[in-house]
Amino acid sequence: KYLLVFDFDETIINENSDDSIVRAAPGQVLPDHIRQTFREGFYNEYMQRVLAYMGDQGVKMGDFKTVYENIPLSPGMPDLFQFLSKNHELFEIILISDANMFGIECSLRAAGFYSLFRKIFSNPSSFDKRGYFTLGPYHSHKCLDCPANMCKRKILTEYLAERAQEEVEFERVFYVGDGANDFCPSMTLTSADVAFPRKGYPMHQMTQEMEKKQPGAFQATVVPWESAAEVARHLQEVLKK
């Protein structure tokens, strides 16, 4: 069995869903006083303030849901998911995302692919009694390279350990992502594994830089993609072998 790990924003969907929800804000913009509170590495906290503002403006659950349901999938992603649906007994599929549970579930259900995923790891989110959309951090960690609320490497290594205890060993791990926070977990991949960074995005640039600076330090095979159909083709080749 193979483990397939997906990121969500700008990987499964073709946008950053945190930016997308601004479409539900009055005038589809955020005021400067909110935007200026953003600090590098504390995006989750920043989004909590964005959502509080939107709640104050009367943006409701249905408004958010509509936005999430209409975010386009990345090029070729429907092809990849169709391929995985046909071969689902060979792949265990999980999603690790710094977005939020509500948004991911809305998007995947609307696209018809929610049931493909064995587990989704993302920041907890819900609607409080005022009807405000609230967001929390996923966990705390000691990784210096990742945002304060989530280290995907920690999530992936804990998941693999938990599955090993349940006597599930994976022949290979495939990781499909785009961001800097996808580079951290892909550093744990072995030479049997494959990293699929989206072409021209931070994860891809970081694998290239590492290859220049420390050849061989990044162990996984790197297969960059512009269309997720390329990921499907690669996985097809793997299955033929």
Contacts of 82 (CB under 8 A, 6+ apart): none
Say if residue 32 carries a ligand binding annotation.
no
CA dist., res. 150 & res. 130, Å (int): 27
Say if residue 193 carries a ligand binding annotation.
no
**Is 7 assigned a catalytic role?**
yes
Percent helix, strand, coil in the chain (nearest 5)?
45, 15, 40
CA dist., res. 222 & res. 199, Å (int): 11
Say if residue 18 carries a ligand binding annotation.
yes
Name the E strands within 77-181. Answer: 91-100, 119-123, 125-127, 133-135, 172-177
Contacts of 239 (CB under 8 A, 6+ apart): 87, 90
- Kindly tell me the burial class for residue 32, based on how many C-beta atoms sit within 10 Å of its own C-beta (0-12, 13-18, 19 or more): exposed
Q: Look-up: residue for tokens 């997308």?
A: 20
H-helix or E-strand containing 86?
Answer: helix 77-86
CA distances for 167 relative to 1, 162, 189, 200, angstroms: 12, 9, 19, 38
**Is 9 assigned a catalytic role?**
yes
Say if residue 9 carries a ligand binding annotation.
yes
Contacts of 162 (CB under 8 A, 6+ apart): none
Task: Phi first, then psi: give them for residue 6, nearest 5 degrees.
Answer: -115, 145
**Choice among 7, 63, 182, 193 that is catalytic:** 7
**Choice among 9, 19, 56, 79 that is catalytic:** 9
Would you list which residues are annotated within the binding site for Mg(2+)? 7, 9, 178
Catalytic residue positions? 7, 9
Would you list which residues are annotated within the binding site for substrate? 18, 98
Would you list which residues are annotated within the binding site? 7, 9, 18, 98, 178
